[in-house]
Amino acid sequence: MTTNATLMDLLAGLVGKIVEHPFDTIKVKLQSQPVTGAKMYNGPLNCLVKSVRQNGFWNLYQPADWQYGGKCGSVSYLWAGNEGTGQV
């Protein structure tokens, strides 16, 4: 496996996590609402708008700092294994 391929694999993991993380944050906020009583959010879009208004856009990425390194590494290993066996 070449250095260029490794860097591209790491970049793919990073970009994937950057795109995915806000959606996961919204999902967790919706799932952690109380089942009974008044709900804080009416749906995903309402949750996104309220979250950004109250806490700012970058708060959607708040607990993600340690996850980026792990995701980059795991995607890199996945692609390295596929490249090594020829199953890309």
13-43 pLDDT, tens digit per residue, is 778 788 888 898 899 999 999 888 888 999 9
- Residues 56-85: what's their mean pLDDT? 69
Quick check: 88 pLDDT over 60? no
Q: Which long-range contacts (CB under 8 A, 24 or more apart) does 73-82 make?
A: 73/10, 73/13, 74/13, 75/9, 75/10, 75/12, 75/13, 75/16, 76/6, 76/9, 76/10, 76/13, 78/9, 79/5, 79/9, 79/12, 80/1, 80/5, 80/6, 80/9
Nearest to 57 by CA among 25, 17, 11, 12: 25
Of residues 46 and 34, the one with the higher pLDDT is: 46
Quick check: 73 pLDDT over 60? yes
- Residues 68-77: what's their mean pLDDT? 65
* pTM of the model as a whole: 0.68
Say what the pLDDT of residue 66 is: 60
